[in-house]
Amino acid sequence: MANRKQLKVKSKADFKALAGASGFVDQLSDELVLPEIATPQEAAPLTGDDALHKLIEGNQRYVEQKRTYPDQTPMRLAEVAKGQHPFAILLGCADSRVPPEILFDQGLGDLFVIRVAGNILDDAILGSIEYATAVLGVSLIMVLGHERCGAVKAALEGNPVPGHIFSFVDAIKPAVDKARGKAGDALDNAVKANITMVVEQLKSSQPILADLVQMGQVKIVGARYDLATGQVELIP
C-alpha cells in the first residue's frame, strides 16, 4: 500500500483532498452534506470499548443459541434508508461460514462489513475503512480471521496458485514467515499472525487511521472465529 502525502483529517475538505477529486466525497453518501466530517461521538455514540462489548455480547448470544435478531424489522429498514450509523467496522474473511451480522447477532445498519479472502488489507479496503471512520464516525475496527482459513493455508503451503489468487496469498506470506517455527499448530499460528499483522498495518496507516488511534477516537482489535463452536476470541 503506497503512502501518500500526509494530511490531518480535521474537516470534510481535508477528506476531499485525500479523495483526489472535488465532489467525490459528496457522491459517496447523503450524510456528507454536513459541513464537517462526523466525529465518532456524533455519528456513533458508542466508544470503541462499548462497541467491542456489544459485539462480544452478540457473539455470546449466537454461541448459546439465544439470538435476538436485532434491527431487522420493517421500521429499521425505513430508518437506515435515510442514512447509516454503524457502530463497528468488520474486516473479515470472505469465507461463507463467517458472516459477521449472524455470528455477532446484529442487524441492518449495525456493522460496516468488508470481506476478502484472508482478511487482508489493500488500498481499496483501506480507503473503505478510512471512509467509515473519518466520515461515518465508527470508533471500532475488528480484524476477524478464522480457524482453518484456506487463504492462510495456501500461503503456508507455498504452492503455485492460478489466476489472481496470488494477490491475497502474497499478502499473507509475511505473517506466515513470522509464525514459522513456533510451537503449536502451524496453520493456526499463521492465522493469528496474519490477524495481528493486519491490525498493526491499520494502526500505523497514515494519514487517517494512525491519527484517529493516537487521539483515542478509534480502537483496532484482532479476533479469531472458531468454525466448530462459533466462538470469537480476541487476539492479544
pTM: 0.84
| CATH number attached to the domain at 12-147+208-235 | 3.40.1050.10
Residue tagged 502474497 (cell numbers): 170
Per-residue pLDDT at 84 = 95
- Per residue in 56-81, pLDDT (tens digit) is 999 999 999 999 999 999 999 999 99
* Model pLDDT, residue 10: 53
Amino acid residing at 131: Y
The percent of residues above 90 in pLDDT, for the chain, comes to 81
Chain segment 46-58, per-residue pLDDT in tens: 999 999 999 999 9
Under the banding of pLDDT at 50, 70 and 90, the label for residue 215 is: very high
Determine the average pLDDT of the residues in 201-210.
Answer: 97
Close Cβ partners of 16 (under 8 Å, ≥ 6 residues apart): 22, 23, 24, 25
For range 196-212, the mean pLDDT: 97
The span from the CA of 216 to the CA of 220, in Å, is 10
pLDDT confidence of residue 107: 98
Query: Starting from the edge strand earliest in sequence, which strands make up the sheet with 88-92, in order?
Result: 111-115, 88-92, 140-146, 219-225, 232-235
